Amino acid sequence: MTAEDAERAALEQIARIVERYAAKSGLALQPDIVQLGYVLNGLARNLMRYGRPYCPCREVTGCAQKDRWNICPCRTHREEIVEFGECECGLFTSRSDNQGSEKE
């Protein structure tokens, strides 16, 4: 398997994981395709580099106990969605916010 194949496989795996999580949890994915791609690629890169899909908007310290809170979806994503309409990296949004932006 080439490096490009491995990157593609990691990206596909991440996309499946976040799509399933969003559907199961009643959230929507970022409607901006550019931002969505940026975050998914960051998650895939972290999966390949560290073996875990750490949020690309958070620092990986190397301390497993500390970093586990930053595995996507991170522990603060729900509070951020309630307060700001999306999580810090913008991957997950509230369904109502996403549906409203689609109507505009």
Give the dihedral of Cα atoms 60, 61, 62, 66; nearest 10 deg: -90
Q: What is the CATH number of the domain that holds 14?
A: 3.90.460.10
Domain tally for the chain?
A: 1
Tell me what pLDDT residue 98 has. Answer: 53
Contacts of 58 (CB under 8 A, 6+ apart): 70, 74, 88, 89
pLDDT in tens, 30-76: 999 999 999 999 999 999 999 999 999 999 999 999 999 999 999 99
Confidence of residue 97 (pLDDT cuts 50, 70, 90): low
Please determine, for residue 103, whether its predicted confidence score (pLDDT) is greater than 90: no
User: Which domain covers residue 28, as residue numbers?
Assistant: 3-103
